[in-house]
Structure 1
Amino acid sequence: MNEQVSSRDEEEQRLLVVLEQVSRRMRKELSLLGDRREDVVGIRQDFWDDVRMNFSDSTEVGETWSSIVQQAELLAERERSHRVASEMVERLTRQFDSPYFARIDFAEKGGEDEVIYIGRASLVGEDGETFYVYDWRAPVSSLFYDHEPGPASYRIPDGEMEGELKLKRQFVIRGGQLKHLFDTSETVGDEILQAVLSEGSDTAMKSIVATIQKEQNWIIRDEKHKLLVVQGAAGSGKTSAALQRIAYLLYRFRQSLGPDQIIMFSPNPVFKGYISRVLPDLGEANMRQMTFRELIEARIGRRFEVEDLFSQTEILAAEDGTPEGEARERSVRYKGSEHFFITVESYLKRLEQDGVRFRSLRYRTETIVSAEEMAERFYSVRASEGFGARASGLRRWLLERLKAWVESQLDEAWVEEAAELVDSEDIQRAYVDVRRRGGFHDEVFDDEEQMSVRLKKRVAEAAVDPLVKAVRRYRFLDAVATYRELFESRTLFTSCSPDGKLPLGWEWMSQRSEETMGRKAIDHEDATPLMYVLEALEGFRLVEGDILHVFVDEAQDYSPFQAAYLRRRYPRARLTVLGDFNQAIYIQSQESGGFSGWTRLMAPDVTSVLRLTTSYRSTEPIVQYTKGILAAEDAVGIIPFQRKGEAPKVIACKDGGQLGDKVAEDINGLLAKGYGTIGVITKTAHETGNASALLKELLADEVPVTLVTGASAELPKGVSVLPSYLAKGIEFDAVLVWDASSARYGKEKDRKLLYTVCTRALHVLHIYHTGEASPWLPEQGG
């Protein structure tokens, strides 16, 4: 006991020393920030006063332009300095609140003990040599995560540094005060985890680098593998590990890797906002973040009405059990399959010889260039040149044809009539054009004719300007018609199919594609294959080769086709994919064979598959209960962290009115107990609207009730009402499951969805149902 008291006194004294260092740095940086702010404001105010303006001749114009550029560069440099100083102040503010969370004492072989403190960011003394705190990503910091006291080693550029880990101590520091201190022989002490996990949920994910476990640390620091696949139980820290891996990579390769070279695919906009604060808390700028839906929208959403995954899910739920619904499900499953990807690749191979469809260039009733002419020109180039060279060559040829057409129309009546009706602005532009070409001097006699030609040319150019823009964007390639051909010819499909057979329901798919694509509507299951065909025909001209790392969260929701497409789109990138196949809730991925669609993307020797089994999010009773929802073979290996709490409750209601009353009553009780985030989770968006409206009627006006939709970007405090598929990856202090009846969650395909919904709970799980309860709910609870 005396030793513990002595250790605490020693650590409190040491903390004061560190806080004084932070304070000194803070005063210095605040002064610098003030100077930089004054510089920026001054340069902005005096910008034009400091620029020498003279346009008397071309030389003076050049010097004036150089003066403007010089002043702009000076302003940009000062703004960068101000931004760096501001970021440093923010980092020091966080350090003053909690400068470090761990201490290790390590002795190299034949060396003396070295005392090392570890925090979110490093802290170096004014002499530039004294390390008060080491960044958690530094090589030596891995000792804390990977080893217990005893023989230990860590990687250095020249190999391994071996020695003995003599002490491993953890701290909880809040507001510059030492709250807890633990010596531990475990990877990370349970006391620290208990302290963090027992806190209420924030509406944004916390960065909890103090609680990184050994297996998570392997994920974070893996530099060897090009493909890292992480299967983790609900609440096992997959997303936290991914974000900390990004922070580690930015730190480790800071000379060659920037946040704009990393992209993370999130399951929905709500989740994007939920994790947005983690990297800034770790001292790094956020990486690029998007949903797969946003990628689809960027490529084909401007030209077509594209169904999203959530709308598809709602439609399938509404048509469940009908012949139309069953046919659509078959189509969704097949078009996301590896079989279909191989079929499309084989089709693209055939298109190298023949079959690409084109759009004719027409002005009014006149065909300027026919689709047949384009095909002839396209296929006149050797197949070995590839689609890209053929398409770009055709593009240049079409632009020349449009230019020639403009010249051919100058004497046409419609052009002359339109030129006579131009406004004064067009006349002025024509005058400027002629003047630039040396017109309107005494010795020039054809000025009026030049003006007339210029005006007529502008009329003709304006007429075909939409066509020019379309050609520049490769719109002459008809990707939709080319893709549809697969579902219009049985012979073509079977010749491309790897087994030479048509998929079950091919006739329905054929009819469906004709109906939807004929009116420029694209089903979600067609969006990725269509993007693949489109980008292949264009030669993958928009492939993002500058992206070096791609992270995919909730990877179990991606079809094998989508996985293969992402690999093609980011050819230079290393992949980190994270998910839980027990949470595969979408039809497109439920029969994909786990993560095989991902693991086959790269060679086995550059692929690593890791499994996280311990669930930290929920209390032990909740984890044990939710394991019972799964089939026995799927629940194997899920280990609850030993955090006590109340058992889940299953609450029967006689009808929807009583269900609303009981949920509202529970919400009031939970808010009174101090729970900050409460998730009311329905199965579908339709139910969400009804539940939200009912709860707003039953609850007091001061109780915040937010209807969360697919367009929502933030998760607010208070009560959130949301559909099951938007809850992916998010956690709440308390989860209230709205109507987990047999009618809503009675089928085998609903089992994983119900599991996903229930595993969002940190501390409290209440499950309500009308009629008979879902057969997947364990009998315990009540």
Structure 2
Amino acid sequence: MVSKEQEALHLEGVKSLIDIINNELSGELEKTTGELIEERKFALEELGSVITDDAQIEYSQVLPSLKFQEELQVSRQDVKNSLGKMKDRPYFGAVTIKDEDEADSEKLYIGLNSLKDPSTNDLIIYDWRTPIASTYYANHLGRVEYEVPSVGLQSVDVKERIQLVIEKGELLDVFDSELYIGDDALQHLLVDTAKDKMKSIVTTIQEDQNRIIRQNSAQDLLVLGPPGSGKTSVAMQRIAYLLYLHRHKMNADNMLFITPNEMFGDYIAEVLPELGEASINAMTFYRLHDKLSRRYEFETLFQHIERMRRAADTTAYRLKSSHDMLNAINRHVAKLADSGIKFRTIKIKDEPFTTAEELSELFYHKFKDSPIDSRLKKIQVEFWPRYKEVLNKAIKERTKALKRVTNYIGTDAELEKQAEQEKTRQFRVVKNYIKRLEFINIEKIYLDILKQLNPAVRAATLESLRNRQLNYEDIAPLLLLTVKVKGLQREPKIQHLIIDEVQDYSPVQLAAITAVFPNARKTMLGDRNQLVHPVHIDTMETTALELTKSYRSTIEITEFTKSLIGNTSTQSLGVHGDEVKPLSFTHFKEMLSHLDSESVAIIARDADHAQMVAAELPDVTLLTHDQYTFTKGTILMPNYMSKGFEFTYVFILDYDLYDKDKDKFLLYTVASRATRHLYLVETE
């Protein structure tokens, strides 16, 4: 039987140990800081400020030592900061285990970070990511297996598992539990989480989630689950786990989260720092259009969704997003080594720097025995001397022209510098053409592929290219062709990608992502039923790990969302709450005026509808397409922008205008944003 008094005494002992370590570290930091300052002073005094050849040699010997000591100092400070946070909540659970070979059982305390007793070197607290800590997340007592990387499966007998609720260094409660969501311990923690940005779920990770977090497979991972099953939270914990597991060869800069919208990066920004890890970068797929030519303006995702909702003909979108398009790109690129690459003539002041004919001759004849990427590099090498020669000639001519000016405009040296700056700026376009291989006409190659598939779509795309206004669905094929043909725009340093809402991505988009990040393993998250795009392209052919339990919303809300699509597989493990209620628009406005919550979402049909409603509701924040920051309070947004978020109160406006069959997946997605209260507001 768990004793709260004994656990309170143990906690006090751990806090005392943290104080001792902290005090020792503070003294060491103070001492080493002083020593480091003295060493810097000594180096400056002895070596002087003038860097002679002899001084350079001495500096080269002293600097590595100073650099090492500074890095050590930063590491000590990081540990001190970590200890400060640890004292508030050193651990959140404990598991008592017994090895087959051991006579006695051992109690392991599990926290966000490990802690060693410096006098014995024994672990007092185990980091939740250590292999043995996995036993804590099993949902049963008795024999439990856990995997140790590079060793294999290990087995222990779990005798006891407890959850401890500790806040600000005080033990509030202790639960003896097998840790599934129905237990008192987790019901105690299952408060409404929608009041702020996404938080860590490390204290409530379930067994099925734990298996996903600790997957060490070299293959890409697809995780499917209903709203509230913790897919995104699991992905964040998985990032922290991988950073821990591969800490000597991977850091936060080697990871990237591809988010469903611009706000989502801000929404998840606090999770990893809460776990003691640096935040990783986040971006939308749309942002990859920056890798394409600046000549074109690309439609955003939300503009694209609105257009697709109004479109009478979606042939072009379906084609450009299809497996047929992907296969056609791959076939066409395979043939380009022999023929088919379209080249541009490069001109300087209407004078050709190189012609399409010359480029074709170089590529298909002079360098024909090399692979495509090598041929392009050889063409670059061929052009650089020519570029410098033409540039230098232009600089000399401009210098002469400036010197012929009768008024005094500068010294000869100043005029030469002015001429160099002017001509270098003027020739920058040519330089970029060579550097970025802009002499390859990717757009014409794209049009050739479209001509094979659908001449009418090709004609419409040609018109868009002439107007320099391209659609969202053009980004992926153009990006894929750019990477495959030019070999540019790859980001090899990214080793792991998280792709959220993967059901929204086309085969061409996923192929483009793989091409841009060739060294990255992927963790992909999705739900076949959460669809806000009016035209769905199915992409999920990979074997998936399925989550079936939903923890986010009340049982009443979850049951309502299930009824919208006839879902019988999702198991609701939330708390009971209010029934889902219809509401008139008048009652909605009245209720809103008295509502006291920082987490309220008003869901409009589209951007125009949201603008119209915003004019009637003065105290709401209207979210627009270019919103980058997640906002607390009462927010108003089009339905497709709500995906991925959760709110305490959700009001679905004009609910009676939705087609309950055609729009069932959209309504399912929007309704599942609510954690505690869901209202279906009738048309005004």
AA in 1 matched with 2:109: Y
Aligned ranges for residues 623-702 of structure 1 at < 5 Å? 623-630=558-565, 632=566, 635-653=567-585, 658=586, 662-671=587-596, 675-696=597-618, 699=619
AA in 2 matched with 1:610: L
AA in 2 matched with 1:519: N
Work out which of the residue numbers 6, 12, 15 in structure 2 matches 1:10: 6
1:102-161 CA distance string (max 9 Å, x none): 111111003120111111111111225222210111111111112511122322343333
Structure 1 counterpart of 2:678:
765
1:160 aligns with 2:160: no
Give the whole-Å Cα distance in 2 for the aligned partners of 1:240 and 1:212.
Answer: 9
1:581-624 CA distance string (max 9 Å, x none): 21122246x131x512xx2xxxxxxxx52001111110100000
Structure 2 counterpart of 1:135:
127
Distance 1:70 1:716, change over 3 A: farther
Unaligned runs of 5+ in 2: none
| Offset at residue 300 of structure 1 (A) | 1.8
| Offset at residue 99 of structure 1 (A) | 1.3
| Offset at residue 281 of structure 1 (A) | 0.9
Distance 1:81 1:396, change over 3 A: same
Work out which of the residue numbers 626, 651, 654 in structure 2 matches 1:739: 654
Q: What SS is found at the alignment partner of 1:582? A: coil
1:546-575 CA distance string (max 9 Å, x none): 222111111111111111222222222221
| Offset at residue 264 of structure 1 (A) | 1.4
Q: What SS is found at the alignment partner of 1:239? A: helix
Q: Tell whether the 8 Å contact from 1:206 to 1:277 is kept in structure 2 after alignment.
A: yes
Structure 2 counterpart of 1:717:
632
Q: Tell whether the 8 Å contact from 1:122 to 1:131 is kept in structure 2 after alignment.
A: yes
| Offset at residue 33 of structure 1 (A) | 5.5
Structure 1 counterpart of 2:297:
305
Work out which of the residue numbers 532, 551, 561 in structure 1 matches 2:480: 532
| Offset at residue 537 of structure 1 (A) | 2.0
Q: What SS is found at the alignment partner of 1:229? A: strand
Give the whole-Å Cα distance in 2 for the aligned partners of 1:35 and 1:269.
Answer: 46
Give the whole-Å Cα distance in 2 for the aligned partners of 1:429 and 1:285.
Answer: 50
1:478 aligns with 2:462: no
Give the whole-Å Cα distance in 2 for the aligned partners of 1:120 and 1:188.
Answer: 20
| Offset at residue 68 of structure 1 (A) | 7.3
1:201 aligns with 2:194: yes
Q: What SS is found at the alignment partner of 1:181? A: strand
Give the whole-Å Cα distance in 2 for the aligned partners of 1:95 and 1:80.
Answer: 22
Q: Mean Cα displacement is larger for which, 221-230 or 77-86?
A: 77-86
Distance 1:10 1:390, change over 3 A: same
Structure 2 counterpart of 1:708:
623
Work out which of the residue numbers 668, 672, 682 in structure 2 matches 1:755: 668
Give the whole-Å Cα distance in 1 for the aligned partners of 2:651 and 2:209.
Answer: 30
AA in 1 matched with 2:95: I
Q: Mean Cα displacement is larger for which, 636-645 or 32-41?
A: 32-41
Q: Tell whether the 8 Å contact from 1:53 to 1:64 is kept in structure 2 after alignment.
A: no
Work out which of the residue numbers 367, 375, 379 in structure 2 matches 1:394: 379
How many residue pairs get matched?
Answer: 680
TM-score by length of 1: 0.81
Give the whole-Å Cα distance in 2 for the aligned partners of 1:646 and 1:50.
Answer: 76
Give the whole-Å Cα distance in 2 for the aligned partners of 1:107 and 1:167.
Answer: 10
Work out which of the residue numbers 89, 111, 127 in structure 2 matches 1:119: 111
Work out which of the residue numbers 575, 584, 595 in structure 1 matches 2:540: 595
Give the whole-Å Cα distance in 2 for the aligned partners of 1:733 and 1:49.
Answer: 63
Structure 2 counterpart of 1:365:
350
Give the whole-Å Cα distance in 1 for the aligned partners of 2:640 and 2:582.
Answer: 21
1:96 aligns with 2:87: yes
AA in 2 matched with 1:173: I
Structure 1 counterpart of 2:231:
238
1:69-118 CA distance string (max 9 Å, x none): 78876776566445434433432233222211111111100312011111
- Identity of matched residues, %: 29
Give the whole-Å Cα distance in 2 for the aligned partners of 1:394 and 1:408.
Answer: 22
Q: Tell whether the 8 Å contact from 1:122 to 1:132 is kept in structure 2 after alignment.
A: yes
1:508-545 CA distance string (max 9 Å, x none): x2232122111222211111101111222212x33222
AA in 1 matched with 2:375: R
Q: Tell whether the 8 Å contact from 1:192 to 1:211 is kept in structure 2 after alignment.
A: no
Q: What SS is found at the alignment partner of 1:770? A: coil
1:22 aligns with 2:18: yes
1:563 aligns with 2:510: yes
TM-score by length of 2: 0.91
1:228 aligns with 2:175: no
Q: What SS is found at the alignment partner of 2:663? A: helix
Structure 1 counterpart of 2:554:
619
Q: What SS is found at the alignment partner of 1:131? A: strand
Work out which of the residue numbers 509, 515, 528 in structure 2 matches 1:581: 528
| Offset at residue 346 of structure 1 (A) | 1.4
Give the whole-Å Cα distance in 2 for the aligned partners of 1:238 and 1:511.
Answer: 42
AA in 2 matched with 1:305: E
Give the whole-Å Cα distance in 1 for the aligned partners of 2:422 and 2:266.
Answer: 49
1:682-705 CA distance string (max 9 Å, x none): 232222233333221xx5xxxxx3
Give the whole-Å Cα distance in 2 for the aligned partners of 1:269 and 1:33.
Answer: 41
Structure 1 counterpart of 2:318:
333
Q: Tell whether the 8 Å contact from 1:263 to 1:551 is kept in structure 2 after alignment.
A: yes
Give the whole-Å Cα distance in 1 for the aligned partners of 2:20 and 2:293.
Answer: 53
Structure 1 counterpart of 2:341:
356
Give the whole-Å Cα distance in 1 for the aligned partners of 2:111 and 2:14.
Answer: 12
| Offset at residue 649 of structure 1 (A) | 1.0
Unaligned runs of 5+ in 1: 432-454, 494-501, 600-607, 700-704, 772-782
Structure 1 counterpart of 2:268:
275
1:453-504 CA distance string (max 9 Å, x none): xx988876565343123311222222123222334x4xxx1xxxxxxxx45x
1:253 aligns with 2:253: no
AA in 2 matched with 1:93: G
Work out which of the residue numbers 93, 96, 99 in structure 2 matches 1:105: 96
Q: Tell whether the 8 Å contact from 2:399 to 2:415 is kept in structure 1 after alignment.
A: no
Aligned ranges for residues 72-87 of structure 1 at < 5 Å? 80-81=71-72, 83-87=74-78
AA in 2 matched with 1:690: M
1:549 aligns with 2:496: yes
Work out which of the residue numbers 513, 517, 520 in structure 1 matches 2:468: 520
Q: What SS is found at the alignment partner of 1:551? A: strand
Q: Mean Cα displacement is larger for which, 619-628 or 262-271?
A: 262-271
Give the whole-Å Cα distance in 1 for the aligned partners of 2:399 and 2:301.
Answer: 48
Give the whole-Å Cα distance in 2 for the aligned partners of 1:583 and 1:571.
Answer: 28
Q: Tell whether the 8 Å contact from 2:653 to 2:683 is kept in structure 1 after alignment.
A: no
Structure 2 counterpart of 1:427:
413
AA in 2 matched with 1:764: H
Distance 1:151 1:738, change over 3 A: same
1:415-463 CA distance string (max 9 Å, x none): 73245459537714859xxxxxxxxxxxxxxxxxxxxxxx988876565
Distance 1:118 1:416, change over 3 A: same
Q: Mean Cα displacement is larger for which, 641-650 or 618-627?
A: 641-650
